[in-house]
Structure 1
Amino acid sequence: MVRIQTSRLVKPLYDDDGGSIPPPTSDSIPLNIFDKVTYNTHMAVLYAYRPPTPSNATIELALRKVLATYRVMAGQLGENQKGNPVILLNDRGVKFVEAVVHDTFDKFLPLEMSPLLLDFHPELKHAEEITLVQLTRFGCGSLVLGYSSHHHVADAFSASNFLVAWGRAARGLELGSVPSMDRSIFWPRVPPEFGFDHVGVEYKKTKSLSGRIVDRDRFAGSDIVNHKVHFTLDFIGKLKARASTGRPNGVAAYSTFVSLVAHLWRAITKARGLSPIETTSVRISVNGRTRLSLDPPVPPDFYGNLVLWAFPTARAKELVSRADGLRGEDNPRRDCARGRCLLQVVHRLRVAGGGGGGGGDLVPTADMGKAALWPDLEVDSWLRFPFYELDFGGGSPFIFMPSYYPTEGMMFLLPSFLGDGSVDAVVPLFRQNSAVFKQICYSLD
């Protein structure tokens, strides 16, 4: 189906004018606390473009230009002389793969969230590069871009800015603001001061049984089905109105994100058939760039990871036992079902100097190796990131989506390509729970 034509490393282009001197390749950037605590894996996304599209050579040249500014994306993960994790600025390069499919792209539509999506990416297992790219051309002239970058180097906010800059380079435009990669703003306080307990949130103990133990035998052999659910602007409006019923005058309605997460949390809890006394949590990734009280503040163009995690929790019966579970002001637990606590807990999170690094017997709680988050969930919202602005000169993509992640309970929210305010949600569930979820995912009851 997908036939690989070429595979090579694409390096930064520094000598564009014939006079610049390439920087040394022995430098490195230490990982900050947020880099260390996030997922130790590549995150992959897909773009699809209708013809006409620029040539592979044009896209490759633009990549080389943008890598001269975003050097970390052409480096490697490694260690310094003290054994601390760093990003090696060695200009190893980006793995750049060119592939073809003789059929027309329409034969693949709609793109299902299945393992077949992995054919549009370079092999990620044992990948030594931070960034990997595959350009797949179809017989009709359509182009699919498979993009993967290591999460230790950049979160979704930073990755989206890199991608937008790549498109600007392809169109002959200035890249925009220069990214700030100064990790020194997160150096620990001396002496270390711990303001919050991070064990059980960002970190877990390796020599203990801390955290929830999931009955793996229950799910042995279970298939994971990735649902892509489209929520229209009209549905979102009705959901937000219902969620916000009873709020005091002058208080803003709940956001699209809060309302949808509360709705999905409730629907998935029903579909899973959790015991009424079962406790379920939602792990929420929150952009911390404007939420940290630092002096000086975090630069708005800080490049790296700066994600805070919120963990609202409720019992299953408090989410699903009443038809008006999205309303009411008298029950703080029901507020959690409706979404109020989803963002309140964010204010409890702040950087605690010396609290990271995985010292002793602590390791990050982030683990993409899990097959199931049941009975919990995780949600990554890409609603406010400019992923759709990746324009190489032929226009914006008509499809943008995460690649295939077979982790039950890990959801993604992204703006629909329709551009009308509607939202697509990627919801992976076990097959035995899928039928119920499809029946109730659009219900407001």
Structure 2
Amino acid sequence: MVREGEATKAHGHEVTVTSMTTVAPALPVQEHRLALSNLDLLLPPMDVGVFFCYAGDGAAAALPAILKAALAEVLVAYYPLAGEVVANAAGEGELLCSGRGVDFAEASAGDAALCELRLGVVDESAEKLVPKKKAGVMCVQVTKFKCGGAVVGCTFDHRVCDAYSFNMFLVAWAAAARGSSPSPAPSFDRSLLAPSVPAPACPHALADRLFVPVSCVPAPPAPTEAAASNRIFRVTAADVAALQAAAGPGRTKLEAFTAHLWQLHARAAAESPRRRRSCSMGVVVDGRTRLRRDGAMRAYFGNVLTIPYGATSPGHLRDMALADVADDVHRWVVEAATGEHFRGLVDWVEALRPEPSVARAYLGGDDGAEAAACVVSSGMRMPVGEVDFGWGRPAFASYHFPWPGSAGYVMPMPSARGDGDWVVYVHAAPEVVKAMEAEPATVFQAIEPDYVFGQA
């Protein structure tokens, strides 16, 4: 996290941290350790960010104090977010629920107005508005603008929770700020993801195909390509519907979008400085409703994810009809979206412990460094309209995940406008972003200030 008095640039304007505090739970926490589940252990140490823009209506002046008071209140139920991830005797991560609190920065954008931000160019905007976590599980930054608007940025440790879980926290935090009735309490019941007893005689075949022990991963080659580009695009509701129609009957919007993105990667492979033998595309699948159809995991706080993927040659992908590509996406997503797979994955991790593992989707599948790899994670459950701290819904919101891995990461989420448009966070190779911007019939459109804030 940026230290007090430190300044960074956001599209030519300095963002200066003016105050640093640590917000502890409103009630004391009895220190204890909480094990990470086997599905948490699939995640390497990496942080995920999210930010919300609130238009100028005088909210900025009072927002930090209200946010801090509400945060202290909601951390009583969400106490793991006020703790730390530490190593246990086996070297695995686990939660130290100590009540250390959440680092909270207040910042100023000087003379900048919120509508002047080029939100689509992440390195000029979100990169300075979403804090970098230095300690603990979570941190917050509130940045004030001269127009009276503000940006609330949060960063959290992905080993502790997934986006579904963090969405629960955001809704509870906003409700506390408004003085609304509290949301249902989160569940940290690790027995919901307990391994089988007795252990199965052989590893689950699909888990073995989708994940690999770290010791079996070859050392990455020396970097030969430009650093990844970070962008935020919008996709109109009409284009989403057109993609779904082209993907054929029975295909979801996300499957259609993924198929389109997969073909874009194939076209971009021709522009890559390194020859690509295949294009690998993965999709993050949530297992809550697959493991328990009775709703028992609805409030579960933690990671319940798997990442099926497909890989094929760029030339083959380019020649396929979108409907055929979508059929392929559907096939490997449905194969992994079962309770049997998630239970098998829990057992697979148990048999491997304490050795860590990694999803093959991030490695490019069997072709490794010879593949152009990307993972799609749906943020369509992002409760944009419910993250209202008392001044109305945000004018704009996005996740922020500029991770250091070589694979691309794309996350679509609903537009804050509530009109069916999507906002799409993209972390991808420069040639992929170029292909997105150069499409003859542009699906990925630039985020313009007028789209977010209306006429300035």
Using structure 2 for the length normalisation, give the TM-score: 0.82
Q: From the two aligned structures, give the one with the greater helix fraction.
A: 2
| Aligned equivalent of 1:403, options 400, 404, 407 | 400
Matched, 1:336 2:341: no
Task: Give the C-alpha shift of residue 8 in structure 1.
Answer: 1.6
| Correspondences of 1:154-303 after superposition (within 5 Å) | 154-193=161-200, 194-197=202-205, 198-199=207-208, 201-207=210-216, 209=218, 216-219=222-225, 222-244=226-248, 247=249, 253-273=250-270, 278-292=277-291, 298-303=296-301
Match of 1:107 among 108, 111, 116: 116
Determine the structure 2 residue equivalent to 1:117.
126
Q: Which runs of 4+ in 1 moved over 6 A?
A: 274-277, 366-370
Provide the C-alpha distance between the structure 2 equivalents of 1:80 and 1:111, rounded to a whole number of angstroms. 41
* Cα distance between partner residues in 1 of 2:85 and 2:232: 33
Counterpart code for 2:303? N
Instruction: Give matches, 1:301-380, under 5 Å.
Output: 301-322=299-320, 325-327=321-323, 335-336=327-328, 339-347=330-338, 349-352=341-344, 353-356=346-349, 358-359=352-353, 361-365=355-359, 375-380=372-377
Counterpart in the other structure of 1:250 = none
| Structure 1 portions without partners, runs of 5+ | 15-21, 248-252
| Matching residue within 90, 95, 104 for 2:103 | 95
CA shift, 1:229, in A, is 2.9
User: How far apart are the structure 2 equivalents of 1:94 and 1:183?
Assistant: 24
Contact persistence 1:37–1:366 (CA under 8 A): no
Identity %: 23
Question: Cα gap change, 1:223/1:276 in structure 2, threshold over 3 Å: closer, same or farther?
Answer: closer
Q: Structure 2: where are the runs of 5+ without partners?
A: 1-13, 444-456
Residue 449 of structure 2 corresponds to none
Matched, 1:391 2:388: yes
Question: 1:373 offset after TM fit, Å?
Answer: 9.8
Q: Distance in 2 between matches of 1:312 and 1:420?
A: 32
Q: Distance in 2 between matches of 1:366 and 1:90?
A: 34
Q: Secondary structure at the match of 1:282?
A: strand
Q: Secondary structure at the match of 1:91?
A: coil
- Among residues 379, 384, 388, which one is paired with 1:382 in the alignment? 379
Give the aligned residue type for 2:323. Answer: R
**1:11 aligns with one of 17, 21, 24:** 24
Q: Deviations over 1:90-125 (max 9, x none)?
A: 10000011111122212223442216533223333x
Matched length = 413
SS, match of residue 413 in structure 2: strand
8 A contact 2:362–2:375 mirrored in 1: no
Q: Distance in 1 between matches of 2:63 and 2:391?
A: 10
Q: By how many angstroms is 1:432 displaced?
A: 4.0
Query: Structure 1 length normalisation: TM-score?
Result: 0.84
The 3 A distance-change label for structure 1 pair 442 and 32 is farther
User: RMSD between aligned alpha carbons?
Assistant: 3.0
| Structure 2 partner of 1:423 | 422
Q: Are 1:39 and 1:368, in contact at CA under 8 Å, matched by a contact in 2?
A: no
Q: 1:434 and 1:151, CA in 2 relative to 1: closer, same or farther beyond 3 A?
A: closer
Q: What letter is aligned with 2:53?
A: A
